[in-house]
């Protein structure tokens, strides 16, 4: 379990990008399901204000479901669904 904890803590501070290369934000924390012993989400702060224009984040970040994560390396790569969700919210206004 200690190795898993080390891997999880290595996610903190990683930059998050969509698969299209759009900067989303930076991993601030990790949401974990204790029952399943699995990561369920990434708390992302320092979000791209241009991408989330019109969102009332009040200085807070967003929670990205871990199922949207495509790859983890020097950066975290997520599906472009983040872009689509941000764009949809802007067009709904």
- Delimit the domains of the chain by residue range: 2-91
- Classified by CATH at the fold level, domain 2-91 comes out as SH3 type barrels. (2.30.30)
**pTM given for the model:** 0.81
pLDDT digits (tens, 9 = 90+) for 23-81: 999 999 999 998 988 889 999 998 888 888 777 777 788 999 999 999 999 999 998 77
DSSP string, the chain: -HHHHHHHHHHTT-EEEETTS-EEEEEEEEEEETTTTEEEEEEEES--TTTTTT---TT--EEEEGGGEEEESSSEEE-THHHHHHHHHHHT-
pLDDT digits (tens, 9 = 90+) for 1-19: 455 555 778 889 999 999 9
């Amino acid at each position: 379990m200690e190795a898993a904890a080390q891997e999880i803590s290595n996610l903190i501070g990683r930059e998050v990008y969509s698969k299209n290369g759009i900067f989303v934000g930076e991993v601030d924390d990790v949401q974990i399901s204790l029952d399943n012993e699995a990561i369920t989400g990434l708390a992302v702060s320092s979000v791209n204000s241009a991408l989330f224009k019109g969102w009332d984040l009040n200085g807070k970040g967003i929670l990205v479901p871990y199922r949207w994560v495509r790859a983890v390396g020097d950066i975290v790569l997520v599906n472009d669904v983040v872009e689509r969700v941000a764009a949809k919210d802007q067009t709904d206004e």
